[in-house]
Amino acid sequence: MLYFLRVTDLDLVAIGVLTSVSTALTLPLPLVVGKLVDRFGPRLVVAAGQALQGTGFLLYLLVSGTGSLVAAMLVTTAGLRVYWSSVFTLIADLADAESADAAGTDAVGAAVVGADGKDHWFARAGMIREAGAGGGALLAGAVLAVDSARVYDGLILASGLAFLAAALVVALAVPAVPHAAPPAEGRSGYGALLRDRPYLALIAISTIFATCSTFLSLSLPVYVIQGLSGPDWAPGPLLALNTLLLATCTAAVTRFVRRRCTRARAMAWAGGLWALWCAASASAVLLPSRALVPFLVAVVVCYTLAEMVYGPASNALAADAAPTGSRGTYLAAFQYSFAGANVLAPTLFGVLFSRDRLLPWLAVGLLAALGAALMLLLAPRLPREHGPRQRVAAAPAVPPQNRSPRRSPRP
């Protein structure tokens, strides 16, 4: 938005409205992307999404007014929708392929490793994404301090080229893995999804949790400075702490949680942690100023722990709950939980905070607790999920003479 303010005569309100309109126009895209993923596999669709984003950033360099801004934003946000509607299917397919390779020809063993492996794949992907986001924010902040038109153009150009390079890496370096073909007509697609009430309920509950997940960066700066009269410098380091923990600890937390409970129960635990985070955030108004920042550090750690528990578990559960051959369609629809949260959360915070500084925490805390309770009620209706020990015990013994040669599992 700073770039558009510099290169056009539009004001901040006009740019904000045009950005929102461009984003809204791309909301139906996941419905198409899911079908493409199921038919052709996710790898090239992911690469296409990144290529579209790269092209959109390069078009930013040509923006001079309303029409060119909307055109560039449409290409960029379309690429964003294509990418997020396909990348989780690619991750899930890669996890399945690695599991099959590790388990050799033992189909049961592949299922055992694959069910647990998805959580770790999603955790690792999330850590890499957070590391990239944090590094990019630090780099952009340092470079923008120069406040030069050439610096802005350089950042836009570098972003566009980075997306195009990522598209090439996915298309050429990521291995093509088997992707199940869609089932017979009438048992696949969005018609089947609309009849799958447990999965629709999972999307609805995930929208509640996604609202909690988007609330920190949205609410923390305003609440600390205006609601608590805290120091102006505090929000930046607190948000950096959140990013640092997500980038370094998610895999370890996922491994710990996965060994002790099912994904549905892990999501319920995350809801409980978010409810605790809201209660602690509201109670910060009672603290003396000298204790505020240390207390907020503990509050951010609580929030981040909920994110680390929720993210990999929810994505892995959504992938495994999708029918064979319709994973692309189902996971594309699952992304509407995040889209809905991104629409809901800013309005929810703005309206409630303008009435009372504690109302947002009360509302989101109740939502988190409701989501946790609903998740526990939904769990029995989702595809059955056993604990790791039960999975291993269920694998049938194979007579030595019938065993196929296996490669050693990857470390």
pLDDT at 242 over 70: yes
Q: Are residues 169 and 277 in the same domain?
A: no
Q: What is the mean pLDDT of residues 21-37?
A: 90
pLDDT score recorded for residue 116 = 63
The mean per-residue pLDDT over the stretch 273-298 comes to: 94
Same domain, 99 and 248: no
For 205-220, how does the pLDDT look when each residue is reduced to its tens digit (9 = 90+)? Answer: 999 999 999 989 888 9
Tally of CB atoms within 10 A around 160: 20
Say whether pLDDT at 25 is over 50: yes
Contact yes or no for 56/73 (Cβ under 8 A): yes
pLDDT tier for residue 188 given thresholds of 50, 70 and 90 = low
Give the chain's radius of gyration (CA, Å): 23
Q: Determine whether 201 is exposed, middle or buried from the number of CB atoms within 10 Å of its CB (0-12, 13-18, 19+).
A: middle
Same-domain pairing of 142 and 268: no
pLDDT band at 300 (very low <50, low <70, confident <90, very high): very high
Domain count, the chain: 2
Same domain, 149 and 195: no
Whether residue 227 is contained in a domain is answered as yes
CATH number at residue 359: 1.20.1250.20
Give the integer Cα–Cα distance in Å for 322 and 332.
Answer: 11
182 is a domain residue: no
Q: Per-residue pLDDT for 301 more than 50?
A: yes
Same domain, 102 and 248: no
What's the pLDDT score for residue 102?
A: 66
Q: What is the 3-state secondary structure (H, E, C) of 77-132?
A: HHHHHHHHCCHHHHHHHHHHHHHHHHHCCCHHHHHHHHHHHHHHHHHHHHHHHHHH
Is 344 within the bounds of a domain?
yes
Same domain, 150 and 4: yes
Domain co-membership, 24 together with 94? yes
Residue with the larger pLDDT of the pair 85 and 184: 85
Domain CATH for 133? 1.20.1250
Specify whether 111 is located in the same domain as 53. yes
pTM: 0.83
When pLDDT is averaged across residues 400-405 and rounded to a whole number, the result is 39
pLDDT above 90 covers what percent of the chain? 56
Helix ranges (H only) for 174-288 are 189-195, 197-213, 215-222, 235-258, 263-283
Position 186 confidence tier, pLDDT thresholds 50, 70, 90: low
Domain that holds residue 17: 1-175
pLDDT in tens, 336-362: 998 888 888 888 888 899 899 999 999
